Structure 1
Amino acid sequence: MDWKTFQALLSGVNKYSTAFGRIWLSVVFVFRVMVYVVAAERVWGDEQKDFDCNTKQPGCANVCYDHFFPISHIRLWALQLIFVTCPSFMVVMHVAYRDDRERKYRAKHGETAKLYNNTGKKHGGLWWTYLISLFVKTAIEVVFLYLLHWVYDSFYLPRLVKCEVSPCPNQVDCYIGHPTEKKVFTYFMVGASALCIVLNICEIVYLISKRVARCANKIKRRNRNVAVHHSDYHDDPFNTTNQPMPTIEEKESPPPFKGTLPSFQPATLKLHDKIRASAPNLSSMS
């Protein structure tokens, strides 16, 4: 397997990752891929030849080895590394899709037009793609740890195993080659996998908390703007919709009329006398 090509493919994920994602990628390459390539492959080189049984029965050693090691640790870890790093390509493909849309949009509306402010910024669909990739990576890590524990009944490798599988004539003692080295590397790889799970969980919590904080700030800003607009509306001097109607106080009300109005009667009588004096015929007619 060409791990250099694999590393080159994943190096593009680093610029779209958060701080936790960069640490996760460093742990994967330094503590898992390099340890796998440099040391683990040599320890598990040809492990079937190092599996010795105290019998010469043809096929007994092969059957016992297959019974206790249905899949080799080294091949299981290779599959785990491939499956764990594959979800990261979802982010790279999503960014490539955004770049293609941006290129087509500029070709249609001009070079100055922009569909995205930054195609690699984790907003909208890319945020969901990144979050889903984290959940998938965490699930794959947990599944492979469970498989390793289930297949080998624990993470511990004994020096001696007893086999009673046919065609072995009776109980056969078989010895594992380099048991201490294999046990150390097994614990190291399990610990590195557990560390990657913790980093993925921290990154998930970080992304969700950051998104919740951003949404809360938007809601607060929106409520503040609405409150300011509402207060400006009430302070408008030309707005009389909510102003109370003026009431006439009791002291400003006109005094009530009592009795007759004697002051107006003389004026009325004088006017009548003037009319009678100027037109005497009218009085006789009446």
Structure 2
Amino acid sequence: MIVSNNLLKHYRFGASQRTSRIGRVTLAALFFVRFGILALGARTIWMEESKNFICNSSQMLCTPSCFDEFSPISSFNLFALQLVVLFTHALSVTYWSRSTNQASETWLQAYFRERKFQVIMHMLCLLSRMVIESVFIYTYYEVTGGVWLPEVTQCRTRFCEKNVICTDMNSFGKNIFSLSLCVVSFTSIIICSLELVLSLLPRRSPK
């Protein structure tokens, strides 16, 4: 229990110890918002994703193959993977922040405590967070072929007859949830960008 309490105390949700308090609070809030959106979507929109995909075909393998063509990667799985990657990134930053504050004073620890090294690692943490957010947004854009997944699509797989039309009954809800997660990612990128600019500004030394 003591170890878990200390971990939560030093956990910074992907932000280093040089991040401002407002930045840490905002990143933490975005993390829980992202988790809440995924949890709600898993219980409603994506619970029976394939069953809500209907095609006007009598072929047995037509609808599953059209569903794979329509959605090769589920946006829920994509953003769930993003959450796992961000959580792993946050744990790595937390472990690094704690390791640089150990009591043992070696030449390596002394180097880690230098302000120049702290600033460089702080900037790398922010840049890596921005890269993760950007990669998943770009992947979502490429998978969906845009920012809005169509409700009706024409299937062209070899398992179907010609002129097969498929309808995704939950396309509107999926788009709303997916775009909400993209907005959260964009907000996280903006916060990290502001923190990156603040880290480049000279700090006033205390009098």
TM-score, with structure 2 as normaliser: 0.81
Q: In the alignment, is residue 151 of structure 1 matched against residue 143 of structure 2?
A: yes
Shift of 1:11: 6.3
Q: Which one has the largest radius of gyration?
A: 1
Q: Could you say which residue in structure 1 is the equivalent of 2:30? A: 27
Query: Does the 8 Å CA contact 1:94/1:126 hold for their aligned counterparts?
Result: no
Query: Does the 8 Å CA contact 2:10/2:98 hold for their aligned counterparts?
Result: no
Q: Could you say which residue in structure 1 is the equivalent of 2:133? A: 141
Query: Does the 8 Å CA contact 1:91/1:129 hold for their aligned counterparts?
Result: no
Q: Could you say which residue in structure 1 is the equivalent of 2:42? A: 41
1:159-194 deviations in whole A, cap 9, x for unaligned? 211101111121211110222212211221111111
Q: In the alignment, is residue 169 of structure 1 matched against residue 187 of structure 2?
A: no
Shift of 1:10: 9.1
Moved more, 62-71 or 86-95: 86-95
Q: Could you say which residue in structure 2 is the equivalent of 1:85? A: 87
Query: Does the 8 Å CA contact 2:12/2:90 hold for their aligned counterparts?
Result: yes
SS of the aligned residue for 2:83 comes to helix
User: What is the rounded CA distance, in whole Å, between the counterparts of 1:73 and 1:182 in structure 2?
Assistant: 8
Percent of aligned pairs sharing the same letter: 23
Shift of 1:123: 3.0
1:126-180 deviations in whole A, cap 9, x for unaligned? 3322210110110111111111011110121222111011111212111102222
1:38-92 deviations in whole A, cap 9, x for unaligned? x111211120111111112021111111111111111100111122333333332
User: What is the rounded CA distance, in whole Å, between the counterparts of 1:194 and 1:61 in structure 2?
Assistant: 35
1:242-286 deviations in whole A, cap 9, x for unaligned? xxxxxxxxxxxxxxxxxxxxxxxxxxxxxxxxxxxxxxxxxxxxx
SS of the aligned residue for 2:166 comes to strand
SS of the aligned residue for 2:11 comes to helix
User: What is the rounded CA distance, in whole Å, between the counterparts of 1:189 and 1:122 in structure 2?
Assistant: 37
Q: Could you say which residue in structure 2 is the equivalent of 1:51? A: 53
User: What is the rounded CA distance, in whole Å, between the counterparts of 2:160 and 2:93 in structure 1?
Assistant: 52
Structure 2 residue identity aligned to 1:80 = Q
User: What is the rounded CA distance, in whole Å, between the counterparts of 1:143 and 1:78 in structure 2?
Assistant: 14
RMSD: 2.7
With a CA cutoff of 8 Å and minimum separation of 6, indicate the structure with the bigger relative contact order. Answer: 2
Q: Could you say which residue in structure 2 is the equivalent of 1:13? A: 12
User: What is the rounded CA distance, in whole Å, between the counterparts of 1:203 and 1:99 in structure 2?
Assistant: 22
Structure 1 residue identity aligned to 2:86 = V
